[in-house]
Structures are given as C-alpha cells and as structure tokens.
Amino acid sequence: MTPVGEPRAVEYDALMKSLGLEPSREDGRRKKGQRAAQCGTYSGYERHRQRGEPADAACLAAKAAYRRRYYAENRERIQAQRARKAAERHPTP
C-alpha cells in the first residue's frame, strides 16, 4: 500500500516497472506510432465520450451504424438474454 497522501499513480508506475512494462506517461501521450481515433468512426465516438466532449454528426452516425450491425449479428443471443432477465423479474407462479 502507498503511504497516506502519496499519489496512486506512483504505486501504479512501480507495479508496471516491476512487471517489466512501461509506466504511464505524465502527459497522457500515446505510444509512438499510435494514431488518435478518427472522427466518423466508432472509436472516434468513444474518444469524444471519454473526453466528455459532444460527439459530432459523423461520429454519431458511425456509432449508430456500429450498433445496428452489432445487434443484427447478435440478435438471437440478445433476445434470449432479455427473455431470461424478464423471466427472472416476473416469475410465473
């Protein structure tokens, strides 16, 4: 445990070093070669959401397309899960 008042980031960085991994960067930059998520993609939408920014129209459209595709590919599993939850909430006597 860290002493009272010591930032948790110091504990995290020490753990990362002990595991042979790179500690976090103080300025929050990505690793060399990583690009920022582009607007008009689902990852671009997630970047806006994580930063607390309002998403632009292109990112909202990309999110909607992703969700439609995800639901279409997983429709049966999602419906079965919803039915199970509804049965748990409202059991038949």
Domain boundaries, the chain: 8-25+39-89
Is the Cβ–Cβ distance between 55 and 48 less than 8 Å? yes
Query: For residue 89, is pLDDT > 70?
Result: yes
pLDDT at 35 (0 to 100): 75
Whole-prediction pTM = 0.55
Report d(CA 8, CA 5) in Å as an integer.
9
